[in-house]
């Protein structure tokens, strides 16, 4: 047998094996199966490599064993959210909160307050102030932490806290914060007594084949101080100028400061991640009683999602909120590549008469994601969804407000990475006051946005229509 014949036989065996794998692997959407079969058929060589790298959210057995059940065990150990305050949520919103309870392994908490920070710089300044007042512990998890003005403000505040005896723990993503972990500032925090952890380190060589999929990322943004307050939102630890991608600046984010029992649910997410990555159990730091209920506060639940969550978990939360809506839904999100259930929920929401508004950035730092987002415009506007493209930088805030009463904020985008691959954290809150403040913020974005004209996207050219339809075919693999 010639070398070419041998190579061809091996190639065909690999191709056949992957096609069988695509058709038999559990939980994959039909659209995703079809897209991968097309890729493997038309780009056989590259397709095989692409599927091995990107086809499934595979995680090393060691990491999977450590992760499964970790949050559940911590919930039981620390009695967090053992009882549910779901009765304090209006009936029609309860299905969405129940979906979050399933993911949190914990009940809805009551008596929480949330304060919306004025902007990205104000959020950083508020964190610094809270760090300087911290007495016991500071826990931080960021996807991207830059060594710019805001990034160094936080680093210096953490160092000051550690030097006066506050227990400080930091988790950063291995890719998103790679520059920080290689800098003098990382070493300086360690020297000051800060405990540091790099999440999802990038492996090379044989370790890359035996470890987790390289592009699974820890996209969470969690800040917890003294088991007393937590921050949740879209903001990374960086300036709004975001100098690593400055041409899209300013990056427009949102961050809320929460007090009340929901703080401990955010702490659970941090503790579970810390335990998995560092093998340290944070039992000494945990006293749920230290988180005081706030008088006249609101029902809220903090939850995490990721590749180990039930299939479609984050999409289920988005969709359940859309199904709850009766009057109005306003959404901002930077990366919009919906799966079938989320797209159907958005279209159904508008068709039953709910005023459905979607705010996306006019210019996206991901050209591919931006192009695929636009490919869905025709279906959405035909159903009655109003789409606005924000002009004033990259709108990075992930917000969803239903009927001016319920708000979802956090790190999760409406793209395949957040829906299936990344580790995310969000808080769902029932509070008309908070919803009002976020709706006002959304209105400022709408005032600096262009509305997509339905006629222009519905009656687009044949060539554009072909391009859009091809893009949506391959969206399940993005």
Looking at the domain assignment, is residue 100 inside a domain?
no
Q: Are 156 and 209 within one domain?
A: yes
Asked which of 249, 277, 302 is the last residue of a domain, the reply is: 302
Rounded to a whole number, what is the distance in angstroms from the first to the last CA of the chain? 39
Q: Are 356 and 283 within one domain?
A: no
Looking at the domain assignment, is residue 143 inside a domain?
yes
Q: Are 142 and 262 within one domain?
A: yes
Looking at the domain assignment, is residue 68 inside a domain?
yes
Cross-strand bridge partners of residue 400 = 331, 408
The mean pLDDT of 178-187, rounded to a whole number, is 97
Asked which of 302, 331, 353 is the last residue of a domain, the reply is: 302
Asked which of 302, 324, 347 is the last residue of a domain, the reply is: 302
Task: Give Cβ neighbours of residue 220 (< 8 Å, ≥ 6 apart).
Answer: 141, 142, 143, 269, 273, 304, 411, 423, 424, 425
Q: Are 273 and 322 within one domain?
A: no
Peptide bond into 324 cis (omega under 30): no
**Structural domain range at position 7:** 3-54
The predicted structure's pLDDT at residue 53: 65
Looking at the domain assignment, is residue 160 inside a domain?
yes
Looking at the domain assignment, is residue 279 inside a domain?
yes
The predicted structure's pLDDT at residue 447: 98
The mean pLDDT of 105-114, rounded to a whole number, is 94
Residue 209: pLDDT over 60: no
For the chain, the domain total comes to 3
Q: What CA–CA distance (Å, rounded) separates 180 from 190?
A: 12
Residue 205: pLDDT over 60: no
Q: How confident is residue 284, by pLDDT bands cut at 50, 70 and 90? A: very low
Q: Are 386 and 469 within one domain?
A: yes
Q: Are 321 and 216 within one domain?
A: no
Looking at the domain assignment, is residue 307 inside a domain?
no
Q: Are 205 and 72 within one domain?
A: yes
Q: Are 288 and 265 within one domain?
A: yes
Mind spelling out the 3-state secondary structure of the chain?
CCHHHHHHHHHHHHHHHHHHHHHHCCCCCHHHHHHHHHHHHHCHHHHHHHHHHHCCCCCCHHHHHHHCCHHHHHHHHHCCCCCCCHHHCCHHHHHHHHHHHHHHCCCCEEEEEEEECCCHHHHHHHHHHHHHHCCCEEEEEECCECCCHHHHHHHHHHHHHHHCCCEEEEEEECCCCHHHHCCHHHHHHHHCCCEEEEECCCCCCHHHHHCCCCCCCECCCEEEECCCEEEEECCCECCCCCHHHHHHCCEECCEEEEECCHHHHHHHHHHHHHHHHHCCCCHHHCCHHHCCCCCCCEEEEEEEECCCCCCCHHHHHHHHHHHHCCCEEEEECCCECCCHHHHHHHHHHHHCCCEEEEEEECCCCCHHHHHHHHHCHHHHHHHCCEEEEECCCEECCCEEEECCCEEEEECCCECHHHHHHCEEEEEEEECHHHHHHHHHHHHHHHCCEEECCHHHHHCCCHHHHHHHHHHHHHHHHC
The mean pLDDT of 422-451, rounded to a whole number, is 98
The rounded mean pLDDT for the chain is: 88
Looking at the domain assignment, is residue 10 inside a domain?
yes
- CATH number at 292 reads 3.30.870.10
Q: Are 166 and 222 within one domain?
A: yes
Looking at the domain assignment, is residue 450 inside a domain?
yes
User: Do 74 and 271 contact (CB within 8 A), yes or no?
Assistant: yes
pTM: 0.90
Task: Give Cβ neighbours of residue 185 (< 8 Å, ≥ 6 apart).
Answer: 147, 151, 152, 155
| Tens of pLDDT, residues 347-406 | 999 999 999 999 999 999 988 899 999 999 999 999 999 999 999 999 999 999 999 999
Q: Are 258 and 129 within one domain?
A: yes
The predicted structure's pLDDT at residue 289: 44
Q: Are 237 and 350 within one domain?
A: no
Candidate from 73-77, 89-93, 222-226, 259-263 with smallest mean pLDDT: 73-77
Q: Which residues are catalytic?
A: 219, 221, 226, 396, 398, 403
Q: Are 147 and 113 within one domain?
A: yes
């Amino acid at each position: 047998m010639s070398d070419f014949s041998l190579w061809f036989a091996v190639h065909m065996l690999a191709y056949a094996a992957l096609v069988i794998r695509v058709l038999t692997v559990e939980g994959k959407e039909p659209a995703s199966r079809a897209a991968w079969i097309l890729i493997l058929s038309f780009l056989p060589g590259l397709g095989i490599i692409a599927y091995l790298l990107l086809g499934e959210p595979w995680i090393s057995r060691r990491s999977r064993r450590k992760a499964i059940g970790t949050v559940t065990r911590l919930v039981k150990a620390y009695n967090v959210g053992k009882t549910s305050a779901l009765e304090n949520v209006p009936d029609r919103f309860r299905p969405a909160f129940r979906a979050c309870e399933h993911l949190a392994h914990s009940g809805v908490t009551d008596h929480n307050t949330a304060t919306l920070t004025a902007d990205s710089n104000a959020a950083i300044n508020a964190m610094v102030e809270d760090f300087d007042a911290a007495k016991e512990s500071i826990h931080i998890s960021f996807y991207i932490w830059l060594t710019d003005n805001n990034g160094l403000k936080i680093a210096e505040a953490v160092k000051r806290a550690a030097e006066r005896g506050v227990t400080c723990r930091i988790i950063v993503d291995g890719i998103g914060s790679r520059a920080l972990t290689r800098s003098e500032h990382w070493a300086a925090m360690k020297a000051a007594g800060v405990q540091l952890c790099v999440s999802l380190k990038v492996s090379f060589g044989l370790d890359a084949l035996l470890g987790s999929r390289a592009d699974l990322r820890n996209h969470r943004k969690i800040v917890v101080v003294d088991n007393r307050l937590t921050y949740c939102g879209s903001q990374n630890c960086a300036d709004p100028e975001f100098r690593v991608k400055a041409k899209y600046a300013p990056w427009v984010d949102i961050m809320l400061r929460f007090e009340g029992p929901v703080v401990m649910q955010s702490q659970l997410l941090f503790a579970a991640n810390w335990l998995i990555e560092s093998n340290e159990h944070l039992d000494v730091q945990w006293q749920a009683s230290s988180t005081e209920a706030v008088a006249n506060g609101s029902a809220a639940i903090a939850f995490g999602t990721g590749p180990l969550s039930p299939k479609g978990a984050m999409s289920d939360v988005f969709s359940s909120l859309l199904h709850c809506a009766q009057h109005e839904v306003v959404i901002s999100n930077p990366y919009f590549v919906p799966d079938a259930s989320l797209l159907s929920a958005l279209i159904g929401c508008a068709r039953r008469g709910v005023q459905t508004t979607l705010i996306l950035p006019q210019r996206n730092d991901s050209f591919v994601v931006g192009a695929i987002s636009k490919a869905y415009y025709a279906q959405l506007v035909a159903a009655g969804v109003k789409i606005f493209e924000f002009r004033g930088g990259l709108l990075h805030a992930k917000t969803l407000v239903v009927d001016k009463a319920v708000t979802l904020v956090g790190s999760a985008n409406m793209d395949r990475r957040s829906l299936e691959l990344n580790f995310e954290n969000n808080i769902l809150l029932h509070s008309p006051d908070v919803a009002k403040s976020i709706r006002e913020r959304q209105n400022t974005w709408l005032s600096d946005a262009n509305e997509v004209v339905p006629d222009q996207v519905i009656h687009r050219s044949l060539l554009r229509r072909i391009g859009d339809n091809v893009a949506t075919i391959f969206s399940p693999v993005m």
